[in-house]
């Protein structure tokens, strides 16, 4: 989508308005409800700073029913208060009389965070925005709200209530996180400077092949370099005997059918897909490097790309003007097999524009202290991969529909 087929904060006069903002504060927490990683909380501070003349009501979720970290939003309000430099008040209600009374008594500059929206069962149902707009939550909250902003990119691949419902009944726009995600990812897959290289890894083979097909089909990406389990699948597709241990793992994950798909992609995009020339095997925790032609090697699992592949990939990445990383190159949580992931990250910071998807690769970048050296670190895991694969994200489509409605009837 283009940069201006949705509205942003800049399209509204926020002075004195009551603004409902769907944020994504879903963070790792320990059993005592202590926040372990607050990157997502920090990411929304620019949005809140740009709404300092408004009355801001935040909607968010933490985990989901049945999980040990399915808890209240109190710790999130406390952590956000610290970063914002003023109180973010926690309100232990979502749309009942207590929440509505607190909203109507707010003063300009106030910020409140309502209770975990997933405490309301209808939140997790995936339905149309029209159907969601008929729920009690929307009917109770919308009369006390002037403007709705979706700043939760990481949840916008789900057609859930707090993402979709208010877009039908309120003037709607994107917050700064959403705006940056769309413009940055678009630059990677549509408007990035060439050479543009994607480096895809991790264990979600079908997702990575969806992205490979999308970005090579639209002609905006020069090369896709594969690592991780997806590389093992594609090595098998190219005729390499990767060994029983690796084939068994691929089967256990339900990806055997992706091998035939991989063959078709290799034929369709001849020379555009880079595969490892050597790999690192895990021999009871010891790293053993072998050439791809030497496979299979006993029954050892492939847990990383090899040194020669690291050197070759790093050269391509360094020479690229635009680089997009998604997924680790190997079993990066084990030190001997983190080398590929770490070296690819180090190479990517030398490109003019570098993007990293959410999840494991972003965590590794932060662990290395390279966060500030990337042009964009996505806040979304599933949402990011879906967007890169060219899929429609319901939350973003709802922004587009709302913008068209608002422009026709401002």
Assess if residue 372 is contained within a domain. no
270 and 330 together in one domain: yes
pLDDT tens-digit series, residues 68-100: 999 999 999 999 999 999 999 999 999 999 999
- 333 belongs to an annotated ligand binding site: yes
- Residues 6 or more apart whose CB falls under 8 angstroms from that of 178 comprise 150, 151, 152, 153, 156, 396, 399
Q: Is 22 annotated as a binding residue?
A: no
Which residues span the domain enclosing 111? 9-180+392-408
Q: Which tens digits make up the pLDDT trace of 267-287?
A: 999 999 999 999 999 999 999
- 172 with 28, same domain: the answer is yes
Picking from 321, 351, 381, the residue at the C-terminal end of a domain is 351
Query: Residue 400: is it exposed, middle or buried by C-beta count within 10 angstroms (0-12/13-18/19+)?
Result: middle
Q: Is 360 annotated as a binding residue?
A: yes
Residues 199 and 283 in one domain: yes
118 is in an annotated binding site: yes
Domain count within the chain: 2
Same domain, 152 and 273: no
Looking at the fold, whether 235 and 291 belong to one and the same domain comes out as: yes
402, 167 contact by CB (below 8 A): yes
Specify whether 89 is located in the same domain as 162.
Answer: yes
DSSP bridge pairs for 174: 8, 150
**What CA–CA distance (Å, rounded) separates 122 from 248?**
39
Structure tokens at 31: 């059993």
Q: Does 13 reside within a domain?
A: yes
Whether the Cβ atoms of residue 73 and residue 62 lie closer than 8 Å to each other: yes
- In contact, 57 and 19? CB cutoff 8 Å: yes
CATH number at residue 321: 3.40.50.1260
pTM of the model: 0.92
* 40 labelled binding-site residue: yes
Residues 199 and 290 in one domain: yes
Residues 336-386: tens digit of each pLDDT: 999 999 999 999 999 999 999 978 899 899 999 999 999 999 999 899 999
In terms of domains, do 20 and 126 share one? yes
Q: Is residue 193 marked as binding?
A: no
**82 annotated ligand binder:** no
160/278 same-domain check: no
**Is residue 137 helix, strand or coil?**
helix
Q: Is 173 assigned to a binding site?
A: no
What is the C-alpha separation between 212 and 268, in angstroms, rounded? 11
Inside any domain, residue 380: no
Instruction: Classify residue 202: in a domain, yes or no.
Output: yes
Query: How do the pLDDT tens digits run along the chain, 410 residues long?
Result: 444 799 999 999 999 999 999 999 999 999 999 999 999 999 999 999 999 999 999 999 999 999 999 999 999 999 999 999 999 999 999 999 999 999 999 999 999 999 999 999 999 999 999 999 999 999 999 999 999 999 999 999 999 999 999 999 999 999 999 999 999 999 888 866 889 999 999 999 999 999 999 999 999 899 999 999 999 999 999 999 999 999 999 999 999 999 999 999 999 999 999 999 999 999 999 999 999 999 998 789 999 999 999 999 999 999 999 999 999 999 999 999 999 999 999 999 999 999 999 788 998 999 999 999 999 999 998 999 999 999 999 999 999 999 999 888 86
- 171 and 207 in a single domain? The answer is no
Tell me whether residue 69 is annotated as binding. no
Residue 242, marked binder: no
Same structural domain, 208 and 344: yes
The CA distance from 34 to 28, in Å, is 9
Residues 6+ apart with CB under 8 A from 276: 226, 227, 231, 235, 292, 305, 306, 309
127 is in an annotated binding site: no
**171 is a domain residue:** yes
- 363 in a domain, yes or no? no
Which residues is 67 bridged to in the sheet?
none
Residue 362 lies in a domain: no
Looking at the structure, tell me whether residues 172 and 213 fall in a common domain: no
Using the structure block, give the residue that is written with the tokens 């020069």: 222
Residues making up the chain, counted from first to last = 410
375 located within any domain:
no
């Amino acid at each position: 989508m283009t940069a201006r087929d949705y509205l942003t904060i800049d399209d509204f006069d926020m002075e004195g308005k009551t603004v409902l903002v769907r944020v994504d504060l879903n963070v790792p927490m320990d059993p005592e409800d202590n926040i372990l990683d607050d990157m997502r909380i920090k990411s929304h501070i620019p949005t809140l700073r740009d709404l300092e003349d408004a009355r801001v009501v935040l909607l968010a979720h933490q985990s989901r029913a049945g999980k040990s970290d399915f808890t209240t939003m109190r710790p999130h309000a406390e952590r956000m208060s610290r970063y914002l430099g003023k109180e973010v008040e926690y309100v232990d209600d979502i749309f009942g009389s207590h929440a509505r009374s607190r909203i109507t008594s707010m003063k300009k500059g106030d910020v409140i965070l309502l209770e975990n929206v997933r405490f309301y069962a209808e939140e997790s149902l995936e339905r149309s925005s029209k159907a969601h707009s008929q729920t009690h939550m929307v009917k109770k909250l919308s009369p006390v709200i002037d403007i709705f902003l979706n700043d939760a990119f990481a949840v916008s691949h789900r057609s859930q209530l707090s993402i979709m419902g208010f877009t039908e009944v309120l003037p709607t726009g994107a917050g700064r996180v959403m705006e940056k995600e769309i413009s940055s990812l678009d630059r990677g897959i549509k408007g990035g400077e060439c050479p543009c290289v994607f480096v895809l890894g991790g264990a979600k083979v079908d997702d990575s092949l969806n992205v490979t097909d999308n970005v090579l089909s639209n002609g905006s990406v020069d090369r896709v370099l594969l690592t991780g389990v997806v590389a093992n699948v594609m090595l098998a597709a190219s005729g390499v005997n990767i060994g029983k241990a690796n084939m068994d793992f691929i089967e256990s994950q339900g990806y055997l059918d992706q091998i035939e798909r991989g063959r078709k992609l290799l034929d369709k995009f001849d020379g555009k897909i880079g595969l490892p020339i050597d790999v690192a095997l895990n021999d009871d925790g010891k790293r053993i490097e072998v050439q791809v032609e030497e496979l299979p090697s006993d029954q050892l699992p492939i847990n990383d790309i090899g040194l020669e592949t690291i050197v070759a990939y790093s050269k391509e990445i360094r020479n690229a003007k635009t680089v997009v990383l998604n997924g680790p190159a190997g079993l990066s949580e084990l030190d001997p097999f983190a080398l590929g992931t770490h070296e690819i990250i180090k190479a990517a910071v030398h490109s003019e524009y570098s993007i990293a998807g959410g999840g494991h690769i972003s965590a590794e970048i932060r662990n290395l202290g390279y966060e500030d050296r990337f042009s964009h670190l996505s806040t979304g895991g599933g949402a990011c991969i879906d967007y890169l694969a060219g899929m429609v994200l319901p939350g973003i489509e709802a922004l587009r529909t709302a913008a068209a409605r608002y422009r026709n009837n401002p």
